[in-house]
Structure 1
Amino acid sequence: MVYIWNDPSEVPADFGPSVVTFGNFDGVHRGHQQVLSQLIRSARLTRSKAVAVTFDPHPAFVHRPESAPEMIMGLDDKLEALGELGLDAILVVKYSLDLASLTAEEFVEQYLVDCLHASHVVIGHDARFGRGNSGDLDTMKALGEKFGFEVQVISEFGSEGYPLHDDDGADRRCSSTWVREALQEGDVATAAAVLGRWHRMRGEVVHGAARGRALGFPTANLASNASGLIPADGIYAGWLVDQAGKRWPAAISVGSNPTFDGVSRQVEAHVIDRPKEAVEDFDLYGQTVVVEFVARFGGWWPIVGLKHWWTR
């Protein structure tokens, strides 16, 4: 069981000792996984609790909302991905100007020491924290000596045994930026390689044009507020996971539609593994579903073509 706390006041007073790291963890990609797996290993060796501190919203939405990056995943999916790694607890800290005003020492003392009773803090070489990003690795080591915790430095690169390369064949550090670049180009295969799993979106199914249903394929149109970064326009093979956890092979259409306010992006998942006579009883409206992107196809692939691709 993973404990998820949305405020420091929810952390039991007797919790700990803990091995802690902190970050945004957008995407929970292989670099994040490498850091967290070593954190968990350290926690088990020292009989401590393995804890990740993450922030919501992303700091960029507070400091520079006009240029904030698109989030790879929503908070629910991030917490699910973090929890699957084997952490004991996750503390979600509301990011605000008040939090940003804390000095590096105040942040460490209030959240890592007083709240989580950290015996070890795991960070990367380039970690920055505290007001104006004034805290760095040397700051954390000094604070460790002051408050009595050890600092473990981990290089976040890829995943052990899975070197990743960019288009030029050079090693590239796993990053949320790389995932965003790949998705914006529709390269869901590269995104999956960096993430260590298929990219996903999560949202409520709403009524749409029902073009797929007219052809004999149930269609799930994701609401405009669905979480997860929308890949480039195109046709994708993927999966639809319904509210009960059932996985269905799907042809996913991503398209841009002009509106009075600009351009909207629409994601439609057409389930391709249902008998035609059973289409009408396949009702997902109002359900929250997950759509996973496996492969992109060039040009227009009819749904029947994707059904053949999935079953070949």
Structure 2
Amino acid sequence: MNIYRSLAEVPADLGPTVVTIGNFDGVHCGHQTVIREVIARARALNAKAVLVTLDPHPTRVLRPERKLQLITPTDVKLELLEKTGLDAVLLLPFTREFAATSAKDFCTAVLHDTLHAVEVHEGENFRFGSGAAGDTHSLEALGQTLGFTAKTFAAIESGRTSISSSRIRHAVAEGDMAATRHMLGREFFVDSTPARGRGYGTKYAVPTINLAAYDDLLPAHGVYITDLRIGSGDDAITFEGVTNIGNRPTFGADSFAVETYLLRFHPVDLTEETPLRMAFHKRLRSEQKFADPNALKTQIFKDVARAERWFALRRALSNRAN
């Protein structure tokens, strides 16, 4: 998959293309449905399948006070998009000046002049152009002038609600990992590096690792069943674990951490730059304050026992499927 980070980087002979435009935060099941259709139509028309997205997310530029936390930071989003089979992603820099571009000028410059689009596929809530004045009806009308066909997709449903990035953020913030997994079509995960802890894990004889500060979306404070991948590529090692997200109130003054107890731990090479990927499976309980560290240690082992049963069931189901 080719990645173009400006209109100027797009080859003049890239087109014709079948295109979809949006933020695609999470690359969730709704996004995946549109992307699959874009790819299928591109193959049928002997065209290139292209996704257009914005960086940074427009909310971070236009409404920074909201402090939007992303489901998938840009590098993770690109990693997930590469697995879909798209031919290219156009990652447009988003600025206040760019935000002032009219819907007509956007379609002319991006879809017609640069991508030579023959079809554009969007969800029914699609908005674009200055002040979000453009919608799917505008897109269809502009397509008639500029030579592309617009196709609109109804929202993909999950239960009685439609799948959206905002609903996924809410589910993650509530610690509802089952709903999150259902809407994403995968486990929710975060990427980070190791942080130096306060030594409690070592002192109380439990093998733990802390994630470095993470500015994007994390689940609600509490204890979770997780997998932690250490390293990358063929050298990566994954440990099953139990992870606490919160302020560790048992030890006095609040000190936020994402701290994982590693099951069946064995020593691994670890530096402050070692990549970590943590996948969240299930929330076990909320964070709580214990009378003393030994009481906390007792609870940790209860949490571990529950996690061990969950992992054993996962292994059994995997073996049965194979």
TM-score, normalised by the number of residues in structure 2: 0.84
Runs (5+) with no aligned partner, structure 2: 287-298, 314-322
Partner of 2:237: 246
What is the DSSP-based 3-state SS (H/G/I as helix, E as strand, rest coil) of the residue aligned with 2:156? coil
Number of equivalent positions? 293
Question: Does 2:175 match 1:186?
Answer: yes
**CA distance in 2: counterparts of 1:176 and 1:263, whole angstroms:** 31
**1:66, CA displacement in angstroms?**
0.7
Range that drifts further, 281-290 or 182-191: 281-290
- Does 1:211 find its partner at 2:200? yes
Q: Contact 1:201–1:227 at 8 Å: present in 2 too?
A: no
2:273 aligned to which of 271, 282, 286: 286
Distance in 1, matches of 2:246 and 2:228, equals 18
Query: What residue in structure 2 maps to residue 16 of structure 1?
Result: 15
User: Residues 263, 215 of structure 1: CA spacing in aligned structure 2 closer, same or farther, 3 A cutoff?
Assistant: closer
Structure of larger gyration radius:
2
Q: Distance in 1 between matches of 2:255 and 2:140?
A: 48
Deviations 1:141-163 (A, max 9, x none): 121111111111212314xxxxx
For residues 134-213 of structure 1, the aligned pairs below 5 Å read: 134-158=133-157, 164-165=158-159, 171-213=160-202
Would the aligned equivalents of 2:224 and 2:285 in 1 still touch at CA under 8 Å?
A: no
Q: Structure 1 pair 248/106, CA: closer, same or farther in 2 (3 Å)?
A: same
Q: Distance in 1 between matches of 2:200 and 2:248?
A: 15
Residue 209 of structure 1: how far off its partner (Å): 2.2
CA distance in 2, matches of 1:131, 1:295: 41
The answer for the alignment partner of 1:296 in structure 2 is 283
Letter in 1 for 2:61: V
Amino acid in structure 2 at the alignment position of 1:55: L
CA shift, 1:63, in A, is: 1.3
Q: Which runs of 5+ in 1 are unaligned?
A: 159-163, 166-170
TM norm structure 1: 0.87
Give the aligned residue type for 1:72: I
Q: Secondary structure at the match of 1:102?
A: coil
Moved over 4 A (4+): 213-217
Measure, in 2, the Cα distance between the counterparts of 1:253 and 1:223. 14
Q: Displacement, 1:263?
A: 7.2
Measured in 2, the distance between the counterparts of 1:257 and 1:94 equals 39
Change (3 A) 1:228 1:81: farther
**What SS does the aligned partner of 1:14 have?**
coil
Does the 8 A contact of 1:34 with 1:156 survive in 2?
A: no
**Cα distance 1:51–1:218, how it changes in 2: closer, same or farther (>3 A)?**
farther
1:151-200 Cα offsets, whole Å, 9 max, x none, are 11212314xxxxx21xxxxx210011111111111111111111111111
Change in CA separation of 1:103 and 1:187 when aligned onto 2, cut-off 3 Å: same
Q: Which residue of 1 aligns with 2:308?
A: 308
Q: Could you tell me which amino acid in structure 1 is paired with residue 123 of structure 2?
A: G
Deviation per CA, 1:124-153, whole angstroms, max 9, x where unpaired? 223211111111222211211111111112
1:221 and 2:206 are equivalent in the alignment: no
Displacement of 1:117 in angstroms is 1.5
- What corresponds to 2:219 in structure 1? 231
For 1:264 and 1:148, locate their aligned partners in 2 and report how far apart those are by CA, in whole Å.
Answer: 57
Instruction: Give distance in 2, aligned partners of 1:104 and 1:209.
Output: 52
